[in-house]
Chains A and B, each alone.
Chain A
Amino acid sequence: MSAFTASFKERADAALADPILKIAVERTAGTAEAKRGIAVAAFPNFEAARTRAAAIKDHVIAHLGAYLEQFEAQAIAAGAKVHWASTADEACRIVIDICKATGARSVARSKSMLGEEIGLPHALAEAGIGRVETDLAEHIIQLADERPSHIIWPAMHKTREQVSALFKAKHRLPHQEETIAAMAESARRELRTQMLGADVGISGANFLIADTGAVCTVTNEGNAELSLVPPRVHIVTAGIEKIVPSMPHAIHMLRMLARSATGAALTQYTTFYTGPKRAGDRDGPEEMHIVLVDNGRTKMREEGLAEMLRCIRCGACMNHCVVFRQIGGHAYGGTYPGPMGAVLTPVLDGLPQSRDLAHACTLNGKCQEVCPVRIPLPTLLKGWREKSWREGLEPTSMRWGLGIWAWVATRPRLYRLGTGFAVRAMQMLGKRGWIGALPLAGGWTRHRDMPKPAPQTFMAQYRKAQRK
């Protein structure tokens, strides 16, 4: 089923009906949850570190313009070219123009959620430019012709058994085994040759360092380094909120990122790229371009979503989300899944298209509890619900149902009458203590029984007892 044609509910139902998906999501998210727990427990005063991480981001977001200008000046001084894009289309156009000016036929891409956000894979295909995804998980979904389902593990929805079958079918030298080592070896064989032939390397950025103009990427496979150093041109696409003032700030954020994402103390490969190859350097790209992308971010700051700009894309919120754990990332339908995706997708796709995501949450608060930069995700989701209500996007049944209920509930005497009647009516529906099918509450009784209420409400019983 296409992620775009169906509704959230249909996508979620399809996901729930897929037992393999459930196994795959549980394996990865369950492991991440356990490992994060251990890493956080071993971190001296993690709570204070979270507060500091949030403060660093808040400070930058409050002074975004100044830090971006500083970054631009430093990056230019280091020899890079800096471009500004206010929309996704503009960002793609800038990248394609650079590729064309280079005469590129193929690009090696290191995983970047911003690239997905702006639709870069699609734009490259339209421009006739070949693309190699060099991150292992991105390679898997490129072979399967799918989209990422998680921001850290794009192929989290696939089991290793499924990946093995895919490699057997699609790799030029098919491998035979289902062991992880054999699969990794097969991917390495396949990717290395393609990577080394690329004309342009494209990456995202985990952090932009304002005072040096450096761009930081982290990967667990070293694929960023392999994709960005050999080609003649390196293009970075980065959201403007990725900025941090200086290296010590970046280090603090890196510590929070790795632990929150995978429970590791560090990501295997962390690289800072400052400008292109200099005279005397033995390797490195001849040109470095940095495309700074807004795509709704400035608007978020103005519209009460500034806290969301703290997000460092660690994925902890989705790994710990009961809803995500049941339906996986594709059900969310956007680039970003889970709690952070439910907040971001309405910014990117519009609220009318994605209002149901804000409701796909029990408001249990676990995401906020684990977010390393303390984003109040449930509050932001409730903000979307309110906006949706104000703009009349909520279904009529909901508006009327709640409206009538609230009208009665603000009239206590009428309310007592109504509740008294309701519990008496429910008496007639139950067998023993339970109701197996309750009119208007089919959503409840399809899957579970409803306890039958007492014959009289508390208020009625209490009043009677008082009178005696």
Chain B
Amino acid sequence: MTQEVALFVTCLVDLMRPRIGFAAIRALEAAGCDVVVPEGQTCCGQPALNSGDRAHAVALAKQTIAALEPYDAVVVPSGSCAGTIRCHYPEIFAGDAAWLPRAQAVADKTWEIMAYLDQVRGWKPQGVTVEAKATYHDSCSGLRELGIKAQPRRLLRGIDGLRFTPMEGEETCCGFGGTFCVKYPAISNAIVGEKADAIDATGADLLLAGDLGCLMNMAGKLHRKGSKVRAYHAIELIAGMGDGPAIGEEG
């Protein structure tokens, strides 16, 4: 069954690492989806929502809902943005009779990309080889709001040559927290410093995760401390784009 899937790119992927968006399209097409990138999208509104700026969060949520509602499914290469749409949009419009059904309908068909590929499509990467040792960080919103834990691991196991070495505290927050890392940089730094040490201690070549914000935080710390670990969004490897530059590499 072909499905018209809307890709919600997320503002960070759009700005900082477009490769993740293209990897998402590639994997979705390999899984038999018709991918559309709706024009009206910008940001899901999570930064406003988490800062307490309700009015702007509502405006951005309405814009996002309107952009995404015509499609069969919505797929997002980020657990935290997918979590915002799935779990928080219905809360935002709880008292709004006109918008609640629309928010709920979009929420019900929105998926984090790895959960969608694995759970909904039952798909596995084929013929992809990455000779490396990898460690995986479970980003908080995906893990705790959407239950994303086994799905990326199942998908990554479909890659030939990829071996795994779990890090200590793989479910522990990396200290990014959206605006937290700029509001409290010193605390955030202490947290990500421990994370970077845990990653380094695994002896892995690659750090993988499903959220660009966390990846930028961890990769930025690893680079500052001179670590050789290279960071990718897991979907890049899954889509067969693991031979490209890692986060922060010129390519």
Interface on A for B, CB 8 Å cutoff? 9, 12-13, 16, 322-323, 326-327, 359-366, 368-369, 382, 384-390, 394, 398-399, 402-403, 405-406, 409-410, 412, 415, 419, 422-423, 432-434, 441-444, 446-454, 456-459, 461-462
B110 is an interface residue with CB less than 8 A from chain A:
no
Q: Let me know if B223 and A434 touch, CB within 8 A.
A: yes
B173 is an interface residue with CB less than 8 A from chain A:
yes
From A393, which residue of chain B is reached at the shortest CB distance? B52
- Chain B residues within an 8 Å CB radius of A434: 220, 223, 248
B33 is an interface residue with CB less than 8 A from chain A:
no
B30 is an interface residue with CB less than 8 A from chain A:
no
Q: Let me know if A458 and B59 touch, CB within 8 A.
A: no
From A458, which residue of chain B is reached at the shortest CB distance? B18
Q: How close is B64's CB to chain A, nearest CB, in angstroms?
A: 10
Known: A448-B223, A453-B15, A454-B19. 7 other contacts (CB 8 A): A12-B184, A362-B176, A406-B53, A406-B59, A432-B249, A448-B220, A462-B22
Q: Let me know if A398 and B51 touch, CB within 8 A.
A: yes
Beta-carbon contacts under 8 Å, B159-188 to A? 171-173, 175-188
From B221, which residue of chain A is reached at the shortest CB distance? A448
Stretch of B35-43, B94-102, B119-127, B202-210 that contacts chain A: B35-43
Assembly CA distance A333 to B74 (angstroms):
44
Q: Let me know if A359 and B190 touch, CB within 8 A.
A: no
The 10 closest A-B pairs by CB, nearest first: A362-B177, A385-B52, A448-B220, A389-B52, A458-B18, A364-B173, A443-B185, A406-B56, A447-B189, A364-B140
- Chain B residues within an 8 Å CB radius of A384: 52
Partner of B16, one of A415, A446, A451: A451
Q: Let me know if B224 and A447 touch, CB within 8 A.
A: yes
Q: Let me know if A13 and B186 touch, CB within 8 A.
A: yes
Assembly CA distance A211 to B177 (angstroms):
46
Q: How close is B199's CB to chain A, nearest CB, in angstroms?
A: 13
Q: Let me know if B51 and A394 touch, CB within 8 A.
A: yes
From B218, which residue of chain A is reached at the shortest CB distance? A448
Q: Let me know if A449 and B176 touch, CB within 8 A.
A: no
A-B contact count (CB 8 A): 194
Assembly CA distance A215 to B188 (angstroms):
42
Chain B, residues 39-50, CB within 8 Å of chain A (1/0): the string is: 111110101111
Beta-carbon contacts under 8 Å, B186-241 to A? 186-193, 216-217, 219-221, 223-224
Q: Let me know if A389 and B223 touch, CB within 8 A.
A: no
B130 is an interface residue with CB less than 8 A from chain A:
no
Q: List 26 A-B contacts (CB under 8 A).
A: A9-B184, A16-B186, A322-B175, A322-B191, A327-B187, A362-B180, A362-B188, A363-B140, A366-B171, A369-B144, A382-B49, A387-B52, A402-B48, A403-B53, A406-B59, A409-B45, A410-B63, A412-B41, A422-B15, A448-B189, A450-B216, A451-B248, A457-B14, A458-B14, A462-B21, A462-B37
Partner of A362, one of B51, B140, B216, B220: B140
B60 is an interface residue with CB less than 8 A from chain A:
yes
B114 is an interface residue with CB less than 8 A from chain A:
no
Q: Assuming the A-B contacts A322-B191, A323-B187, are A362 and B17 also in contact, with contact meaning beta carbons closer than 8 angstroms in the complex?
A: no
From B195, which residue of chain A is reached at the shortest CB distance? A322
B11 is an interface residue with CB less than 8 A from chain A:
yes
From A465, which residue of chain B is reached at the shortest CB distance? B22
Q: Let me know if A12 and B186 touch, CB within 8 A.
A: yes
Q: Let me know if A409 and B21 touch, CB within 8 A.
A: no
Assembly CA distance A323 to B172 (angstroms):
11
Partner of B248, one of A323, A368, A452: A452
B141 is an interface residue with CB less than 8 A from chain A:
yes
Q: Assuming the A-B contacts A323-B187, A406-B53, A457-B14, are A366 and B40 also in contact, with contact meaning beta carbons closer than 8 angstroms in the complex?
A: no
Q: Let me know if B216 and A447 touch, CB within 8 A.
A: no
From B180, which residue of chain A is reached at the shortest CB distance? A362
Q: Let me know if B184 and A359 touch, CB within 8 A.
A: yes
Assembly CA distance A432 to B247 (angstroms):
12
Q: Let me know if B192 and A448 touch, CB within 8 A.
A: yes
From B172, which residue of chain A is reached at the shortest CB distance? A322
Q: Identify which of A323, A398, A452 gathers the most chain B CB atoms within 10 Å of its CB.
A: A323
Q: Let me know if B177 and A326 touch, CB within 8 A.
A: no
Assembly CA distance A207 to B171 (angstroms):
34
Q: Let me know if A423 and B248 touch, CB within 8 A.
A: no
- Chain A residues within an 8 Å CB radius of B31: none
From A26, which residue of chain B is reached at the shortest CB distance? B194
Q: Let me know if B248 and A448 touch, CB within 8 A.
A: no
Q: Let me know if B224 and A453 touch, CB within 8 A.
A: no
Beta-carbon contacts under 8 Å, B127-174 to A? 140-141, 143-145, 171-173
Q: Let me know if A410 and B59 touch, CB within 8 A.
A: yes
Assembly CA distance A242 to B220 (angstroms):
46
Q: Let me know if B50 and A447 touch, CB within 8 A.
A: no
Q: How close is B29's CB to chain A, nearest CB, in angstroms?
A: 13
Q: Assuming the A-B contacts A406-B56, A410-B59, are A360 and B19 also in contact, with contact meaning beta carbons closer than 8 angstroms in the complex?
A: no
Q: Let me know if B184 and A456 touch, CB within 8 A.
A: no
Q: Let me know if A385 and B51 touch, CB within 8 A.
A: yes
Assembly CA distance A359 to B172 (angstroms):
19
Partner of B177, one of A361, A389, A412: A361
Partner of B15, one of A388, A444, A457: A457
- Chain A residues within an 8 Å CB radius of B189: 446-448
- Chain A residues within an 8 Å CB radius of B171: 366
Q: Assuming the A-B contacts A322-B172, A382-B52, are A454 and B18 also in contact, with contact meaning beta carbons closer than 8 angstroms in the complex?
A: yes
Assembly CA distance A450 to B185 (angstroms):
14
Partner of B17, one of A382, A442, A453: A453
From A441, which residue of chain B is reached at the shortest CB distance? B182
